[in-house]
Amino acid sequence: MGTSGSGRPSVVVTRRCTSLSGLARAPLLEVPVRDVKSFLESTEALVPRGAEAGRIDWDTELAYLLSQS
């Protein structure tokens, strides 16, 4: 756990568990690796690696973000 050298949050994966640490160095999330693996496999089945950009309507997303300010 901890932050990377740049001070950004980091993720640590061990055989049994995944920990995510924030800037305050306090664990924010700890879940079994098998659950993370299952989630990522399901996500990749829906949107294959490299196909993410083709699934985003950038104009709509930008318009939404700009409307929030």
Q: What is the DSSP string of 1-46?
A: --B-TTS-BEEEE-SSEEEEE-TTS-EEEEEEHHHHHHHHHHHHHH
- Supply the Cα-derived Rg of the chain in whole angstroms: 16
Please check the confidence at residue 59 and state whether its pLDDT lies above 70.
yes
Model-level pTM greater than 0.85? no
Bridge partners of 17, per DSSP, are: 32
Which residue did the predictor score with more confidence, 62 or 9?
62
Q: 13-55, pLDDT tens digit by residue?
A: 666 666 666 666 666 667 788 888 899 899 999 988 889 888 8
Question: What is the model's pLDDT at position 63?
Answer: 93
